[in-house]
Amino acid sequence: MNILNSIKNNEKQLAVLIDPDKFLVENTASFIEKVNRSIATHIFVGGSIVDKHATEVLVIEIKKYTQLPIVLFPGDVSQITESADALLFLSLISGRNSEYLIGKHVKAVSKLKNTKLEVIPTGYILVESGKETAVEQVTKTMPMATENIQDIADTAKAGSLLGMKLIYLEAGSGAKVPVLETIIAKVKAVLQVPLIVGGGIRNLEQLEKAYSAGADLVVIGTAFEDDELFFDALQK
């Protein structure tokens, strides 16, 4: 299966994000059963700070219970495991920290050698969301100001012109407010590649708003960590 091709324009797809640092492996079967019954189309695995082997252990466990594609969304090179189907090769193009623009990628090369992981170049854009997020702390970069919509759209466009196959608009895990619809719409309008939106989406209304504004794939993590009943609102 080609994972990039499974992330399509204008199809309202949903990725459930599982952070190995916050998730108990023994809960995998029951959690994934809920994912399977929901409208989720992808499972993303990753987090800002994760123990070295936790990602691999979790991915292997998840695979036992689902056919959905498992995509790594790593905060660090140590989270790369070939047990997954694909890897978002994220470049933090909203920031100017060279480690997160290209440095970690160079370090990843030796880990990627001889793996079958599908590597998907992804432009990652952190947008201001009302409180400091883990991405900000870990990467030591500032999010882009919400009033600079043109700047955000230009950054996304520049990423796609550099050959990035996906653009990810990120408010940050557990963000107070999701990325504004005006920003999603403006970015979508300049892109040909699919647009991923995540951070702070906690209910159906916010999910629908993100789709209506132009998100092709929405990523939700914290809302499921806080309350698995949210899956009930997302039944197929």
Q: Count interface residues toward ligand 1GP (CB under 6 A).
A: 14
* DSSP label at residue 232: G
Cβ atoms of 177 and 171 closer than 8 Å: yes
17 touches ligand 1GP (CB under 6 A): yes
198, 214, 217, 234: which one binds ligand 1GP (CB under 6 A): 198
Helices (H), 13-124: 28-37, 54-63, 98, 104-112
Q: Which residues contact 140 (CB under 8 A, 6 or more apart)?
A: 97
Tokens of 116: 């079958």
Q: Which is nearer to ligand 1GP, 123 or 221 (CB)?
A: 221
CB of residue 116 to ligand 1GP, shortest distance in Å: 25
222 belongs to an annotated ligand binding site: yes
173 belongs to an annotated ligand binding site: yes
Rounded to an integer, what distance in angstroms lies between the CA atom of residue 63 and that of residue 120?
20
168 belongs to an annotated ligand binding site: yes
79 touches ligand 1GP (CB under 6 A): no
Helices (H), 64-130: 98, 104-112
180 touches ligand 1GP (CB under 6 A): no
3-state secondary structure of 157: helix
Q: Which is nearer to ligand 1GP, 80 or 218 (CB)?
A: 218
Q: Which is nearer to ligand 1GP, 80 or 201 (CB)?
A: 201
Rounded to an integer, what distance in angstroms lies between the CA atom of residue 232 and that of residue 88?
28
Among 144, 129, 128, smallest CA distance to 95 is for 144
71 touches ligand 1GP (CB under 6 A): no
50 touches ligand 1GP (CB under 6 A): no
Q: What residues are designated binding site for sn-glycerol 1-phosphate?
A: 168-174, 199-200, 221-222
Give residues in contact with ligand 1GP (CB under 6 A). 17, 170, 173-175, 198-201, 219-223
